[in-house]
C-alpha cells in the first residue's frame, strides 16, 4: 500500500476529513496520512481504539512514536492519558489496549540505531522552555537522534522565514497554525520536503507536534 509515499512532495491533510479504516484487530481503526508497505509499514496515522479494544502483541522492528490525543492508552508498562508521548525504540515489543477508548497520533518504522532507549513524557507536567522568538515555547520529546518537539505559540506570534534541512512534519494538536501557504486548524498534518521554506505564525495561538530532519532523500 502506498499513501503519500513521495517525501519530495509537500502534503497537507486534515485527518477529520479522512475515513476511518478498520485494522486487523476489532475496535481499532486508522486514518492513514502516509504509508509505505502492507500491515508492516513505514506509516503516519491517527489511530482510534474503541473502549475495550486490544491489539495483539507485536514487535516494532524500526520503532514507534505515539502522542495520545484523547482518552487513555495502555500496554503492559502502564496507562497513558491524553498528553502522553511514548517513543519505543527499534526491536521493542508490546500488547496495547484501551479500556476507556483513546485517539493517538502514531509514527511507525522511521527510527534509527541511535534511538535505543524508550522515552515517556507527560506533556501535561513537563517543563516548557523559551523558544527562539517571544511568544514561542518548546518542549523536547524524543531526545535521541532527530528528535520530536512540542511547540506552543502564543497568539500573534510570528517566526522568521527559514528552510528545513531534511524536511519538517507538523501535526496541529490544538489551535490554528498558519504560514504563507495556508491556515491549518486542529487535526491538520503538514509534511514539507527537504529544503522547503516557509514563514510560520499563529494569529490565535496553537500547539503543534514538530519533527524535523527525517525526510532526507534516499
Question: pLDDT digits over 68-82, tens only?
Answer: 999 999 999 999 999
Mean pLDDT over residues 114-118, rounded?
86
> Who wins on pLDDT, 216 or 96?
96
Q: Write down the pLDDT at residue 184.
A: 98
Residue 146 has pLDDT above 70, yes or no: no
- CATH number, domain 2-122: 2.60.120.10
Q: How far apart are CA 29 and CA 21, in angstroms?
A: 5
What does the pLDDT read at residue 116? Answer: 86
Task: Give tens-digit pLDDT for 5-31.
Answer: 999 999 999 999 999 999 999 999 999
CATH 2.60.120.10 fits 129-212, yes or no: yes
97 Cβ neighbours under 8 A, 6+ residues apart: 49, 52, 53, 54, 55, 74, 75
How high is the mean pLDDT of the chain?
94
Domains of the chain, residue spans: 2-122, 129-212
* pTM recorded for the entire structure: 0.96
Domain 2-122 shares a fold with domain 129-212:
yes
- pLDDT bin (cut points 50, 70, 90) of residue 101 is very high
pLDDT of residue 167: 94
Asked if the model's pLDDT at residue 115 lies above 70, the reply is: yes
Amino acid at each position: 500500500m502506498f499513501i503519500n509515499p513521495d517525501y519530495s512532495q509537500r502534503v497537507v491533510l486534515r485527518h477529520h476529513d479522512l475515513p476511518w479504516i478498520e485494522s486487523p484487530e476489532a475496535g481499532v481503526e486508522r486514518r492513514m496520512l502516509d504509508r509505505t508497505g502492507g500491515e508492516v509499514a513505514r506509516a503516519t496515522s491517527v489511530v482510534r481504539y474503541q473502549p475495550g479494544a486490544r491489539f495483539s502483541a507485536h514487535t516494532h522492528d524500526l520503532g514507534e512514536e505515539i502522542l495520545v490525543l484523547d482518552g487513555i492508552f495502555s500496554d503492559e508498562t502502564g496507562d497513558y492519558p491524553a498528553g502522553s508521548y511514548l517513543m519505543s525504540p527499534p526491536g521493542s515489543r508490546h500488547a496495547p489496549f484501551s479500556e476507556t477508548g483513546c485517539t493517538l497520533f502514531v509514527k511507525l518504522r522511521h527510527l534509527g540505531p541511535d534511538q535505543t532507549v524508550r522515552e515517556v513524557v507527560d506533556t501535561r507536567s513537563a517543563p516548557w522552555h523559551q523558544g527562539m522568538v517571544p511568544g514561542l515555547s518548546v518542549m523536547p520529546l524524543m531526545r535521541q537522534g532527530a528528535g520530536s518537539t512540542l511547540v506552543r505559540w502564543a497568539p500573534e506570534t510570528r517566526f522568521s522565514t527559514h528552510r528545513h534541512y531534511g524536511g519538517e512534519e507538523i501535526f496541529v494538536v490544538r489551535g490554528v497554525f498558519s504560514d504563507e501557504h495556508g491556515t491549518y486548524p486542529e487535526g491538520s498534518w503538514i509534511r514539507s520536503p527537504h529544503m522547503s521554506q516557509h514563514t510560520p505564525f499563529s494569529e490565535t495561538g496553537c500547539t503543534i507536534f514538530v519533527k524535523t530532519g527525517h525526510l532526507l532523500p534516499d
